[in-house]
Amino acid sequence: MNRLKYFFPALLAIFFSGCGLNDNVAPVPTYLIIKDPKVLKVNSTGEDTHKITDVWVYSDGQLQGIFPLPAKVPVISTGEESEILILAGIRKNGILDEPAFYPFYKAITANVKLEPLKEINIPITFQYSENCKFDVIADFEQVNLFEFDLDLDGKAGLNLSAEDASSGLKSGKIKLENANSVVEIGSTQLFEKLSIISGNAYIEMDYKGQAEIGIGLVTYDDLNVAGMLQYKVVVVPRDKWNKIYVDITDILSAPRLRSYRLAFGFTVPAGKETGEIYVDNIKLVRF
């Protein structure tokens, strides 16, 4: 009896201990290696500059997470084939804590067998969706598409320059002569709104220089027939070429909107006397 008294508690302890160990076994991952993002260069979509900062990764329709690039993405190994879907991640409006996937880059898909501890390299070359519409593609190689004078000073605000370029041979240059200089320009072409409710719409732009830049639109409706200037973001000076993606979906979705043009404003930052700014690869892309 004394032996049985101690045997059964010991047996129960072994049983429950075994169950706990099995429940806590960590799943073994497969690793997806994702790095060096590119954008396919096609004449109809302009230059291939980008600022893809991270990737949104799905496995069989389930979001695995958002991963800064370069990334080593763990996915639970099943031994089976999985459909991997990768979206290009950006920082919307240039704000670090506003991650978003760029809706105009097509998702990359790959069928991958998820084997334990295997590392699988997935090349990522994104391309624009066939459904994209480009109101503006400005590479400044031959023509200046921004000759509309918003500040009404009668001066040419932007000139083509071969001094520096984000890609190609030329860019647009703005020179601010003194601390109080302001240059405001718009796209020469006026664009008509095609529907009451618009889809996604973004402005892309490469830029560098010693000035603050307002990026937005001049919008026209029944109440503002002369146009209303709206800057969506203001970016700070950059010594090296940078790219920004500016979400203007809300502006183009306004129900009274009739037409619009791109708008940019350039000012000398506080403490500076002059400034030179270069812009390149400006696009207005929408669905």
153-170 per-position pLDDT tens digit: 766 689 999 999 999 999
Single-letter amino acid code for the residue at 118: K
pLDDT computed for residue 3 by the predictor: 43
* Residue 70 and residue 161 in one domain: no
Domain of 65, CATH number, reads 2.60.40
Give pLDDT, residue 104: 98
For the segment 251-255, the average pLDDT, to the nearest whole number, is 91
What residues make up the domain containing 60? 29-126
Coil, strand or helix at 11: helix
Q: What is the mean pLDDT of residues 2-30?
A: 52
Query: Do 258 and 149 fall within a single domain?
Result: yes
CA 152 to chain CA mean position, Å: 33
3-state DSSP assignment of residue 192: strand
pTM value is 0.89
With cut-offs at 50, 70 and 90, classify the pLDDT of residue 196: low
Measured distance CA(157)–CA(131) in Å, rounded = 33
| Residue that is written with structure tokens 């070429």 in the block | 241
Residues 177 and 276 in one domain: yes
Q: In what order do the strands lie in the sheet with 29-34?
A: 71-76, 29-34, 119-121
Helix, strand counts (H, E) of the chain: 2, 22
What stretches of the chain show up as alpha helix (H) in DSSP?
2-23, 249-252
Structural domain count of the chain: 2
At residue 21, does pLDDT exceed 90?
no
Paired with 228 in beta bridges are 219
Residue 151 has a pLDDT of: 85
Residue 7: inside a domain: no
Give the chain's mean pLDDT.
90
For residue 205, pLDDT beyond 60: yes
Confidence of residue 23 (pLDDT cuts 50, 70, 90): low
